[in-house]
Structure 1
Amino acid sequence: MKGIIVGAGIGGLTTAIALESQGIEYQIFEAAPELSVKGAGILIPPNAMAVLAQYNLVEALKPFAQPIQSMVIMNANGEVLSSSSTNYVYHGKSFQTHAIHRGELQKLLLNKLNNKQINLGHKCDNLNFNGNKVEVDFYNKANIRADFVIGADGLRSKVRNSLFSRHSAESSLRYSGQLCWRGVANIELDEKWRTQLTEIWGQGTRFGFVKIAPEQVYWYATQHQKSPLEQKSNFQSLISHFAHYPSPVQALIESTQPNQIIQDHIYDLAPLSSWSDSNVVLMGDAAHASTPNLGQGGAQAIEDAHLLAQTLSSAISQDQDAEAAFKIFEKARRKKVDNLVKTAWQIGQVTNLSNPVACYMRNTAVKHMSRFMIQKSTQQMYAWP
């Protein structure tokens, strides 16, 4: 059995590593003309670290990542509202959250592959089912046939749009009402901040930051924005939005090259009724994109990759087809992923509040949240089968 992976991001590369571990042949096709180091930072929480450990990637990752002990939520006056551990124990072995530049993680995954041949400049156009095979048409006129296709091409997935073209509502994106900025500041944090992810909640605004390397800090900021903007805001406007925030927020923004700041509107994906059709399956953001409020987007793609390879291997050993494997994969993953997407959306709406009274009530509720509730929420995120 030989397959096609569409997309060479974190989900696609991890899937390739997992397929190689099971002896399953594949080809990767990526729309971009080159694998450039884009993006900013990303968290690798314990559930993702536990999966990466299956492929002997943890030790290779550690020199390029920063260990994170806790997540701390503060109000705009600098008062701590909540602090929770970002470590988790699986079968007696502890895994620690790490923060890393997305580009560094992508390079580590690529280096792990035995088959480093990635077909760049191949943007998916359409899918065609031909007997027990599936054909992928690309905009560059290439046409590739395989036994199965894995759509790992992100939030605006071309595979998803082609797969559900008969049901356009299946692939609708949902706008969260938030504008987001992301950047990497060239600065050394004071010691008190170095082993935690810090989020500061204001009125209609939020700012988060975490160390990802020596003298590198990944930061993100959100602002309530009822409708998506057509033009990017300027650097001074960004600074003014967070002028009232406590240190080191201003220093982080000002230590970032303005042309390196990424500005996006935050979307997620309305739940699909199915992630697969015949021998084509979606994974990661292509199947279940969530708003980034739990830091679980990359982790869930990594979990998907691990289970996809396992179910495909099992299907092959039992002389079953890919369609059977994909149904088992979705059944195993669906409940957890749907809950995380829903929770991430709800958190985004809570942090989006701008009314002073509503913000006060929100902060009070977070401050008095019981340790039991925090542990239960953590367990739902970090647990994996």
Structure 2
Amino acid sequence: MKIAIVGAGIGGLTAAALLIEQGHDVSVFEKKDAVSELGAGIGIGGNVIDKLNNHDLAKGLKNIGQVVDVMEVLDEKANPLSKIKLKKNTVNLTMSRQSLLDVIQSYVPDSAIFTNHYVTDIENGDLKVTLQFSEQPSQSFDLCIGADGIHSNTRQAVAPNNKPIYQGYTVFRGLVDEIDLKDGNVAKEYWSSKGRVGIVPLLNNQAYWFISITAKENDTKIHAFAKPHLQARFNHFPNEVRQVLDKQSETDILLHDMYDLNPLKTFVYQRVVLLGDAAHAMTPNMGQGAGQAMEDAIVLANCIQTYDFDMALQRYNKLRVKHTKKVIKRSRKIGKIAQRTNKFVVKVRNKIAQIIPNQLISNQTKFLYKSKEK
């Protein structure tokens, strides 16, 4: 089958690697002039590693990933609010986004990736789908996979009414080297009325950090924050937070307002299939954005290998729409709880968090491991 993949990100390249391995003629179209990821660190949960089974890509991920098996939430004085032990008998990994992309790309031939290809329109039909480009001739395919992110041109062509929705907070991110964290297998978040700070260990004494601050969309005051502003705002936080910000360079801090999508009712539109953020962009509160994109790719490839064309797309739709809807809503809910700014509300929230049994909180993520592969 001749397949176009729009977007050379994590989900698109995973789909390309698996479908090329099955013998399909795959072309990946990337609008930028290089395959790269703008981001700091990322987590890939055991739900993804499990679905890869014994595929060599799983081994590649394990080689670059730091194993994290506990997630702790604390207040700004390091008093514990909750402690979640991640699922036993599986591997949860953290790594830099670029490292993840590089590993996945190593399974895709360079000849299959076409950079500087900006898709302007898609002509969708019962027998073929045609991609229009800004500078290159149009091309027709049996299937088009839209993996071009939250601001997807592919989604715009097939579901134009579904737009990104601002979720009320902006996030700073960075990577630091030579950091000595107390617990190398524990990811931590510190919650306060001024925002929350996350610190995630990576391999080789690196760490990924983020700071999430409630703000208006495109808030000029918050967007003007640099390292000194963050240090001053969170100077009363525990030493681990101050140490990470001290080691962060002045120039390599990323900043993004947080958006997601209202769940779509379908990811399949004749011969166009949506995948990853193009289909179900979600806030990062469950650390599942990249993982769900990779799951999409795995499930889609499995379905194409197992069923005839129409049944494969129907099965992919059935397995992924309902599951990712749950992740979007759960992640959105966590964000609303975590981003409270009223000091009294924060105090009450923290007290409630300390009362809820950790096992009950852990059970809230079990559904991630129960989604089917095909």
Provide the TM-score with structure 2 as the length reference.
0.94
Match of 2:96 in 1: 101
Equivalent residues in 2 for 1:278-357 (5 A)? 278-316=270-308, 320-321=309-310, 324-357=311-344
Match status 1:25 vs 2:22: no
Pick from 249, 253, 258 the counterpart of residue 250 of structure 2.
258
Shifted more, 324-333 versus 5-14: the winner is 324-333
Contact 1:204 1:351 in 2 (8 A): no
Match of 2:35 in 1: 35
CA distance in 2 between counterparts of 1:325 and 1:232 reads: 48
Match of 2:118 in 1: 123
Match status 1:162 vs 2:157: yes
Match of 2:229 in 1: 237
Equivalent residues in 2 for 1:148-159 (5 A)? 148-159=143-154
Structure 1 residue 105: Cα displacement: 0.8
CA distance in 2 between counterparts of 1:54 and 1:38 reads: 29
CA distance in 1 between counterparts of 2:105 and 2:258 reads: 28
Equivalent residues in 2 for 1:105-254 (5 A)? 105-114=100-109, 116-130=111-125, 132-165=127-160, 168=161, 171-190=162-181, 192-230=182-220, 231-254=223-246
Structure 1 residue 363: Cα displacement: 1.1
Question: Which runs of 5 or more structure 2 residues have no equivalent in the other structure?
Answer: none
User: What secondary structure does 2:67 align onto?
Assistant: strand
User: What secondary structure does 2:364 align onto?
Assistant: helix
Question: Which runs of 5 or more structure 1 residues have no equivalent in the other structure?
Answer: 89-93
Match status 1:5 vs 2:5: yes
CA distance in 2 between counterparts of 1:375 and 1:38 reads: 30
Provide the TM-score with structure 1 as the length reference.
0.91
Pick from 362, 366, 371 the counterpart of residue 379 of structure 1.
366
Contact 1:7 1:153 in 2 (8 A): yes
Pick from 252, 266, 290 the counterpart of residue 274 of structure 1.
266
Contact 2:75 2:350 in 1 (8 A): yes
Structure 1 residue 220: Cα displacement: 0.6
Contact 2:167 2:258 in 1 (8 A): yes
Contact 1:189 1:211 in 2 (8 A): no
User: What secondary structure does 2:172 align onto?
Assistant: strand
CA distance in 2 between counterparts of 1:23 and 1:54 reads: 19
Contact 1:110 1:116 in 2 (8 A): no
Structure 1 residue 372: Cα displacement: 4.1
Structure 2: which amino acid aligns with 1:52? L
User: What secondary structure does 2:3 align onto?
Assistant: strand
Structure 2: which amino acid aligns with 1:360? K
Contact 1:276 1:282 in 2 (8 A): yes
Structure 1 residue 33: Cα displacement: 0.5
CA distance in 1 between counterparts of 2:171 and 2:143 reads: 36
CA distance in 2 between counterparts of 1:221 and 1:163 reads: 35
1:100-143 per-position Cα deviation (integer Å, ceiling 9, x unaligned): 01111111111123565310011221101255111111222331
Contact 1:232 1:263 in 2 (8 A): no
CA distance in 1 between counterparts of 2:137 and 2:329 reads: 38
1:49-85 per-position Cα deviation (integer Å, ceiling 9, x unaligned): 1123442223222332211120011001101111111
Contact 2:199 2:208 in 1 (8 A): yes
Identity %: 29
CA 57–129 in structure 1, closer or farther in 2 if over 3 Å, else same: closer
CA 296–75 in structure 1, closer or farther in 2 if over 3 Å, else same: same
1:222-261 per-position Cα deviation (integer Å, ceiling 9, x unaligned): 0110332245423222222211211111221221122211
Structure 1: which amino acid aligns with 2:179? E
Equivalent residues in 2 for 1:28-107 (5 A)? 28-36=28-36, 38-88=38-88, 94-107=89-102
How many pairs were matched up? 370
Structure 2: which amino acid aligns with 1:278? Q
Match of 1:91 in 2: none
Post-superposition, which runs of at least 4 consecutive aligned residues in structure 1 deviate over 4 A? none
CA RMSD of superposed structures (Å): 1.7
User: What secondary structure does 1:258 align onto?
Assistant: coil
CA distance in 1 between counterparts of 2:363 and 2:22 reads: 34
Structure 2: which amino acid aligns with 1:301? A
Contact 1:188 1:214 in 2 (8 A): no
CA distance in 1 between counterparts of 2:303 and 2:85 reads: 32
CA distance in 1 between counterparts of 2:67 and 2:305 reads: 33
CA distance in 2 between counterparts of 1:296 and 1:116 reads: 30
Contact 1:177 1:228 in 2 (8 A): no
